Amino acid sequence: MQRIADGIRRQGINGVPFFILNCKLAVSGAQTTAVLGAAILQSLETGKPS
């Protein structure tokens, strides 16, 4: 478990909540439903993950 936590921190993820959308877009911290909704739509528009 510590290895996983260390890897996450190396990626710059240091807070919760933290969402990675479609492997392309990250949203950190508490956000409004409008912000999360816009981020989800934006991640869907970027196409499938590579």
- Cα–Cα distances in angstroms (integers) from residue 1 to residues 6, 7, 17, 24, 31, in the given order: 9, 10, 18, 24, 27
Q: What pLDDT does 38 receive?
A: 95
Model pTM score: 0.62
Cα-flanking dihedrals φ and ψ of residue 24, to 5°?
-130, -25
With a CB cutoff of 8 Å and minimum separation 6, the contacts of 18 are 26, 27, 28, 29
Q: What pLDDT does 42 receive?
A: 93
Cβ atoms of residues 18 and 27 within 8 Å: yes
Domain boundaries, the chain: 2-45
pLDDT values of the chain reduced to their tens digit, one per residue, 50 residues: 899 889 888 888 877 788 889 888 889 888 999 999 999 999 998 665 55
